Amino acid sequence: MRDSARRSSYLLALNWLFFFSVSLWISVAQGNLLWWLRLRWGSWLTELSALGQLSAVPAGSIWILWLMVSLSLSAIYWLLPSWQASKQTHENDTVQGTPIVPNADLIDARPELKEKLLRLHQSLERI
């Protein structure tokens, strides 16, 4: 695993650990888990528009935003590598299936063309 990927996974795990520990701390302070139900789940996004006017934003909207951002980052982190891997295997399959020289029989039929292509290839290797 690359160093940046390892750091990303550690930061994502640290985010979730911090999120759940603070949620647990609030639940212990209030005596139950029902504080999640009292959040305004239907209007949290419209309440966040108050940030543009620098006015007060309810804490519940910040909690929901933190949860949504964490879920989105986790989904991107877990789904993106598998999507890139499937795309890369698909590209490898298409590259291996097609010949490098599309008209090899035409080149073999003309030896002077084959010699010119060989000289061109050698001069490109020198560059």
| Inside any domain, residue 22 | no
Task: Write the CB contacts of 110 (distance below 8 Å, at least 6 apart in sequence).
Answer: none
Are 48 and 57 in contact by the 8 Å Cβ rule? The answer is yes
Residue 100 has pLDDT above 70, yes or no: no
In a domain, 49, yes or no: yes
What total number of domains does the chain contain? 1
- HSE toward the beta carbon, residue 93, CA cutoff 13 A: 6
Of residues 48 and 88, more confidence is placed in 48
Q: Provide the 8-state DSSP code for 26.
A: H
In a domain, 71, yes or no: yes
Look at residue 62 and tell me if it is in a domain: yes
Full domain range(s) for residue 61: 39-102
pTM of the model: 0.59
- Report the C-alpha gap between 110 and 30 in whole angstroms: 86
Residue 81 lies in a domain: yes
Kindly report, residue by residue over 36-65, the tens digit of the pLDDT: 888 888 888 888 888 888 888 888 889 999
Residue 89 placed within a domain: yes
Is 120 contained in some domain?
A: no
Is residue 65 in some structural domain? Answer: yes
Q: Can you tell me the distance from the alpha carbon of 24 to that of 35, in angstroms, rounded to the nearest whole number?
A: 11
